[in-house]
Chain A
Amino acid sequence: MNAPKENNKTLRRPYKVEQKPLWWLDNSYYFRYMIRESTSLIVLIYGLVIVVGLLRLTQGPYMWQGWVETVSSPLMFPLHLLALLAVVYHAYTWFKLAPRIMALRISGKPVSDQKVEWAHWIVMLGVTVACLLVASCGGALL
């Protein structure tokens, strides 16, 4: 940044520091933020795998069977594990932030952040268990 043009007598010469490309390596808080954000990439990739599965399902039993075999191959195991870890970590960070976004009040009184966080965990566990139940019962019916 240069001194203002209209006053060339000024000795002002503010020094502008550009943000470093790897700014997030300088500070552990920023580093954890980048980890948090990058977990969503893994979740995105896994989501795409599931979408492909849905597509295969619409294309008939043969295609579906192929997809099931692909995703259950041992080579895919690391992706499943990575996706699970990423989802749990992302949920953990998100549930920590959610209470501050919601600012929930019940009959005028603010609900503590911890309660909102726990409520998120309970709902997630409930939904997970319900999905697993439906999935395994559906399998039993076949």
Chain B
Amino acid sequence: MNSEHDIPNSSTMRVEVQRYRPELDARPWWQAFDVPYTNDTSVLEALQYIKDELDSSLSFRWSCRMAICGSCGFMINGVPKLGCKSFLRDYGALKIAALDNFPIERDLVADISGFVEKLETVKPYLMREDPSDLDTSVPISRAFNQTPQQLSLYKQFSQCINCGICYAACPQFGRDPEFLGPAALTLAYRYNQDSRDQGKKDRMPLLNAEEGVWGCTFVGYCSEVCPKSVDPAAAINQGKAASAIDYALNLVQLGGDK
């Protein structure tokens, strides 16, 4: 595993890492390491080098090291990014901290459990008016076909890997942790846009609420930093149009949510 770290004549980089050990430290502090690297050393690998060779007490989250599990989000020189998708060759020096706007559990581990709970509240699954459509006790007897065009209405918004990076890039979430935030609102919109779904009326009250789409002021940084090009800012602000229409329909009692 260390063979690639040991490439002779490789350069080293000064990597500062934010430490916070709840049982010892009153507040986070910076610890510096010199890390050897080559052209393809990722920030995640640099952290692994530190843990393997320099200080085994360093904590950070990772799993897939290929930008799909969403575990390795850090503030890298002040910008929220995936550690496994960022490379030392693009930096002169590194400062790595836990994701902004979340409580720091330990070192580089942000406590994103509040974010995960938000994802659950928006009912991120297909809902049908006729419950027998979802009856799993009988063999599937019909397909819910979708045209490529219908798919394209939500496909981009379904690429989210729940990394929480957009929450670290959202000053509205930083100000008010109750704000549902970019990924959760995008997820709600993704299901509302799905032609197979009929649960929109159950999700609209969440989107219409103050912690819903209207908490967003289109700062737009979430879309800038999203590693999967989900463009949550677009989903939320399209959601505002949907929410406004829903509100107008309610006013004239034509339906919408109750």
Total number of A-B contacts with CB less than 8 angstroms?
Answer: 63
- Chain B neighbourhood of A103, CB < 8 A: 234, 238
Q: How far is the CA of A139 from the CA of B59 in the complex (A)?
A: 73
Verify if A30 is at the interface (C-beta below 8 Å from B).
yes
- Chain B neighbourhood of A30, CB < 8 A: 171, 219, 221
Q: How far is the CA of A15 from the CA of B234 in the complex (A)?
A: 32
Verify if A106 is at the interface (C-beta below 8 Å from B).
no
- Chain A neighbourhood of B219, CB < 8 A: 29-30, 33
A27: min CB distance to chain B, Å? 7
- The answer on a CB contact under 8 Å between A100 and B78 is no
Stretch in B22-30, B121-129, B130-138, B194-202 with 4+ CB within 8 Å of A: B22-30
Q: How far is the CA of A15 from the CA of B22 in the complex (A)?
A: 8
Residue of A nearest to B217 (CB): A37
- The answer on a CB contact under 8 Å between B78 and A19 is no
- The answer on a CB contact under 8 Å between A19 and B174 is yes
Known contacts A19-B175, A33-B220; is-contact A12 B22 (Cβ 8 Å):
yes
Q: How far is the CA of A26 from the CA of B80 in the complex (A)?
A: 13
Verify if B152 is at the interface (C-beta below 8 Å from A).
yes
Residue of B nearest to A103 (CB): B238
Taking a contact as CB atoms closer than 8 A, the residue among A14, A23, A110 that contacts B103 in the complex is A14
- The answer on a CB contact under 8 Å between B20 and A15 is yes
Q: How far is the CA of A108 from the CA of B22 in the complex (A)?
A: 54
- Chain B neighbourhood of A13, CB < 8 A: 22-23
Give the number of chain B interface residues (Cβ < 8 Å). Answer: 31
- Chain A neighbourhood of B171, CB < 8 A: 19, 23-24, 30
How many of chain A's residues touch chain B, expressed as a range?
20 to 34
Q: How far is the CA of A1 from the CA of B247 in the complex (A)?
A: 37
Residue of B nearest to A3 (CB): B22
Q: How far is the CA of A110 from the CA of B104 in the complex (A)?
A: 42
A8: min CB distance to chain B, Å? 14
- Chain A neighbourhood of B23, CB < 8 A: 11, 13
- Chain A neighbourhood of B103, CB < 8 A: 1, 14-17
A13: min CB distance to chain B, Å? 4
Residue of B nearest to A113 (CB): B234
Q: How far is the CA of A100 from the CA of B241 in the complex (A)?
A: 12
User: B96-139 vs A: 1/0 string, CB under 8 Å?
Assistant: 00001101110000010000000000000000000000000000
Verify if B246 is at the interface (C-beta below 8 Å from A).
no
Q: How far is the CA of A13 from the CA of B104 in the complex (A)?
A: 9
A126: min CB distance to chain B, Å? 24
Verify if A101 is at the interface (C-beta below 8 Å from B).
yes
User: Which of B27, B220, B223 has the largest number of chain A CB atoms within 10 A?
Assistant: B220
B234: min CB distance to chain A, Å? 4
Residues on A lying within 8 angstroms of B by beta carbon are 1, 11-17, 19, 23-24, 26-27, 29-30, 33, 37, 97, 100-101, 103, 108, 110
| Among all A-B residue pairs, the 7 with the closest Cβ atoms | A14-B103, A13-B22, A100-B234, A15-B104, A19-B174, A101-B237, A11-B23
Given contacts A15-B28, A100-B233, A103-B234, 4 further A-B contacts (CB under 8 A): A17-B100, A17-B104, A23-B174, A100-B223
